[in-house]
Structure 1
Amino acid sequence: MGFTVSDEVLGTLIPIAVYWIYSGIFIILGDKLEKYRLHTKAEEDTKNVVSKLTVMKGVFVQQAFQIAISMLLFTLIKDEAGAPKPNPPLYIIAVQFIIAMIVLDTWQYFMHRYMHLNKFLYKHIHSKHHTLVVPYAFGALYNHPLEGLLLDTIGGALAFLVTGMTPRVGVFFFSFATIKTVDDHCGVWLPINILHLFFANNSAYHDVHHQLYGTKYNFSQPFFVTWDKIMGTYMPYSLEKRKEGGFEARPVKD
């Protein structure tokens, strides 16, 4: 009998593997991306107050919590007979993806915004993420563990449960959401990025939020900017080329 891995295990572990593989691409490319950076290397070194080793350890802690909660969720909802749930037709999966994106965006917008408005939550929890004033790819999930639980794990669980997607479909959705989150924090503006064709919420948009002038704006993540526009927290930007190379996302004032 061959060794098989359940969809539940794959749905838990593959998005984590995708996180490190995709962020690893940015690390490997390194200097080749210098001319596309949204901040200089000097700014990254001086403005970020935590080391990359600390960030890596913090991400590992959050992902450990993510694994535990995900396996608990799959255990609770698993059919007593243990039979795998059949996957729906592609058009149903497409609808599930769209609904899941809306659910996840809605949850994360309001939770994220509240963590900025509540001084206690910001000081003791969310400010950890903002120690990365200059975001980079593998720092995307550098959060306080409680924030990781509230925003990412619970938000993902809600999207999964509301849509009724199967664990197999969940593998693809959460892998996609992971790629989008890493891309938004990568700190570079690539001239050819297919994600930018479909989503206005991108690395430059989120970079504005990480700057001092933008901490009360651009809360939306990881897909659309809809809630920012509805709630009046949308800050548009212009992308300007720097003389020394790279780009800068500058806020556009009305």
Structure 2
Amino acid sequence: MGTFAPIVLYWVYAGGYQLILHRWPLERYRLHTRAEEEEKNLVSLPTVVRGVLLQQLVQAIVAMVLFMLDLSNPIIHDCLQVTSDSSVTVVQPPIIVQIFQFLIAMLVMDSWQYFVHRYMHQNKFLYRHIHSQHHRLIVPYAIGALYNHPLEGLLLDTLGGAISFLVSGMTPRTAVFFFSFAVLKTVDDHCGLWLPYNIFQHLFRNNTAYHDIHHQLQGTKYNYSQPFFSIWDRILGTHMPYNLVSRKEGGFEARPSRD
């Protein structure tokens, strides 16, 4: 059942955001007005939901296969323990090891997603026929965080997650916590709200406003990094800073800045 925990968490967390997104007083924390969302987005909410469910079905199948096959991983194999009833369990490594595995998985996932994501923008065929599906949500919202073309979902998210899992050597149980954390961060980056006490938005420079810039027309060639750090953007010159400007009608606007 742990395989489905990140999927359940996605709908609980994103669904919660979706329910409060149009509620006062949170209107004053929106990065875009409700009118902008309705006018600019090129895809309906039901279509987004169907697209996300399709991607999560593929992710669940890949995860179950990986968890079953990865007992041959030497790191995990050393953690196997045969109990008195001859069943095999995986012993969790020390917490410090799991923290290290988390960091490795975060860096691997960020690296994979940066270069694949950037190439999908630079290759006109891939952008037109695949990646542009995600950018139909010009004004991002939480449930649309995983709204992608099925091929992009497989290459960018599912394969990237599988590589992170295998390279880090984490156990399936640790992986459930890691992917749950990644889901929360990804949903938060698309939530469309800048909240005063949001820990993700204040601990990570790669946050809701940072990714919102990427969805704007003037920012589509910048801020490719996701979901955790902005390291590759800064190293390779695709980093676009932003200013948060208060709107007279309430809420904030993330404006690109080249300062």
Pick one of 52, 55, 64 that aligns with 1:62: 55
Counterpart secondary structure, 2:254: strand
Partner of 1:23: 14
1:131 aligns to 2:159 (yes or no): no
Count the aligned residue pairs.
Answer: 245
CA distance in 2, matches of 1:73, 1:118: 30
Q: CA deviation at 1:27?
A: 2.1
Q: CA deviation at 1:198?
A: 2.0
Q: Percent identity?
A: 62
Q: CA deviation at 1:77?
A: 1.8
**Alignment of structure 1 residues 117-128 onto 2, 5 Å:** 117-128=122-133
CA distance in 1, matches of 2:202, 2:39: 32
Pick one of 171, 187, 195 that aligns with 1:190: 195
Q: What are the superposed Cα offsets for residues 179-204 of structure 1, whole Å, 9 maximum, x if unpaired?
A: 00000000110011111232100000
In structure 1, runs of 5+ residues without a counterpart are 1-8
CA distance in 2, matches of 1:84, 1:43: 52
In structure 2, runs of 5+ residues without a counterpart are none
Pick one of 154, 169, 172 that aligns with 1:164: 169
CA distance in 2, matches of 1:112, 1:34: 31
- Give 1:56's aligned amino acid: V
Pick one of 26, 41, 48 that aligns with 1:48: 41
- Give 2:100's aligned amino acid: V
Q: CA deviation at 1:70?
A: 1.3
TM-score (ref. length: structure 1) = 0.93
Q: CA deviation at 1:73?
A: 1.6
CA distance in 1, matches of 2:150, 2:63: 15
- Give 1:26's aligned amino acid: Y
Pick one of 208, 219, 223 that aligns with 1:218: 223
Q: What are the superposed Cα offsets for residues 57-111 of structure 1, whole Å, 9 maximum, x if unpaired?
A: 1101111111111112222223598723211111111111111100000000000
Q: What are the superposed Cα offsets for residues 117-139 of structure 1, whole Å, 9 maximum, x if unpaired?
A: 00110011000000000000000
Counterpart secondary structure, 2:106: helix
1:116 aligns to 2:124 (yes or no): no
Partner of 1:3: none
CA distance in 1, matches of 2:202, 2:44: 33
CA distance in 2, matches of 1:72, 1:248: 43
RMSD: 1.3
Q: CA deviation at 1:51?
A: 0.4
TM-score (ref. length: structure 2) = 0.92
Partner of 1:201: 206
Q: CA deviation at 1:29?
A: 2.0
Partner of 1:99: 104
- Give 1:75's aligned amino acid: M
- Give 2:117's aligned amino acid: H
